[in-house]
Structure 1
């Protein structure tokens, strides 16, 4: 039987994205307020809404207070490992999957993600870590997945891509001939220390909106957690083992 290969995302699958977003927004607010003490929280939150709603609609996203957005992101990268909040059960699930399947990581993440994966014990269990910041292609560009599969000599028809976004993960996976599973993790993340409550409230509202606007019609399996992928794989294996019904030929 053909051995399945798995290309697993990081943010929204292995650890939560939200703590990084919130730390970044808080940093942008503090830097912008330092530049202009008269600047109000209401004005900042409106700019945040415009930023995220622009990204969700598919139109060119507006900038968020350059160069403060860039400065704040650099600060988040310096704190990366300390901001990591693993999705409950995800690391153990990956360990179990890696015992039975060939696994790699394919993700849009900064280079600091490598240290986080090492700390979590993930880097040692996978065959390759392909990050957009190091490879030069970023999802939804299918070339990031293709680059990883080429390095490992994987065939798309044997590969399942596991991510958290139909548009960034499932769509390019299917375009390459892979299968796809989309994880819908819970909202069990914790707010990083020091983030203003107003920013958290606005972010939660925008997060709900983004969940609805990023859902596409792309065909994929929907799972609640990485651990549920084992059930999907068993189903596929059963289908492959089951004999196909004979076709009757009528004269």
Structure 2
């Protein structure tokens, strides 16, 4: 069946929170030691992992973890605890780093993101972003000139539903006026994004690699499903 709509995940798919050494300049662990590059990389991974629990959390944080992408206050609570559990115990430093995570201007688009979204728009193929997120990502889309090209942007904290709940994929298809079988979901998580197949959508996985190392994965993903741009 011809693809009439493409659904995109946000983090690790269209955009990535890239490691910036300046964010951790002067940041130390609980022993007072500066974070090395390997530790910085691991810290950023923990801040952006799509599904799996990245540190062992106390029982009182379990609900916050489950609801982190539904309620901004729970998102803040859990990721400050993730930072603390990872060794970033200075609350001022932790707040500063957390503020980067939820700042749309700190997210970097993948090299082919704008080209793919623009090409789909010009081809008359409908598009949506479906993101498990607790802050407004639309300024990031606007910053690179693609915000107005999306027909729908579904953010979990607004919709009250998180992937892999099938309701979110069905809701997107309904708003785009396409059958699930006519939609392609592109994302980096088989668990969260791949659940679109349960309602009949197609699925293409991309790796959440650094943007410089992934120049054309989105182009290849749509091409593999019969959409040439």
Structure 1 residue aligned with 2:113: 90
Larger helix proportion of the pair: 1
Q: What SS class does the counterpart of residue 161 from structure 2 fall into? A: coil
TM-score by length of 2: 0.65
Alignment of 1:1-251 (within 5 A): 4-19=4-19, 26=24, 30=27, 38-40=31-33, 45=39, 52=46, 58=52, 61-62=55-56, 63-65=82-84, 68=91, 71-72=95-96, 74-77=98-101, 79-81=103-105, 83-100=106-123, 101-170=125-194, 172-184=195-207, 186-189=209-212, 225-234=217-226
Report how many aligned residue pairs link the two structures. Answer: 191
Structure 2 unpaired stretches of 5+ = 57-81
Does the 8 A contact of 1:184 with 1:224 survive in 2? no
Does the 8 A contact of 1:185 with 1:224 survive in 2? no
Structure 1 unpaired stretches of 5+ = 191-222, 237-251
Deviations 1:24-51 (A, max 9, x none): 8x39x83x75xx6x44458xx5xx68x9
1:105 CA drift (Å)? 1.0
What CA RMSD, in Å, does the superposition of the two structures yield over aligned residues?
3.9
1:177 CA drift (Å)? 1.5
Structure 1 residue ranges, 4+ long, deviating more than 6 angstroms after superposition: none
Deviations 1:186-206 (A, max 9, x none): 53459xxxxxxxxxxxxxxxx
Higher alpha-carbon Rg:
1
